[in-house]
Amino acid sequence: MQADPKKIIRLLKTARGQVDGVLKMVEEDRYCVDIVNQILAAEAVLRRAHCEVLRAHLSHCVAGAFGAGSKDARQKAAEMIDIIDKISK
């Protein structure tokens, strides 16, 4: 992985803490809107982690494969198309 591991770990631990908080809120039968807002916050942190990893992958792995004229450049492009398809659903 080319992304900064410390940054990704921090983001994922933050998301994990938020999900734990959501679970506790559900167990305590808290107000629905408060739960939804906390879920949205967790999703936002996961999105940031996702974007960081994807950005690094594009900048290093994909760009490197195309720059070197590597055989796996087409595979890297296909992987990115799959990711874009998943994101757009």
Express each pLDDT in 48-87 by its tens digit.
Answer: 999 999 989 888 888 888 877 777 888 888 888 888 888 8
Domains in the chain: boundaries: 5-87
Alpha helices, H only, 1-89: 5-27, 32-56, 63-67, 73-87
- The more confidently predicted of residues 83 and 36 is 36
In terms of C-beta distances under 8 Å and separation of at least 24 residues, what long-range contacts does 60-65 make, across chains too? 60/2, 61/2
Would you place residue 30 in the very low, low, confident or very high pLDDT band (cuts 50, 70, 90)? very high
Kindly indicate the confidence band of residue 12, based on its pLDDT and cuts at 50, 70 and 90.
Answer: very high
CATH class of 5-87: mainly alpha
Answering whether pTM is above 0.75, one says yes
3-state secondary structure of 61: helix
Amino acid at 11: L
What are the tokens at 35?
């739960």
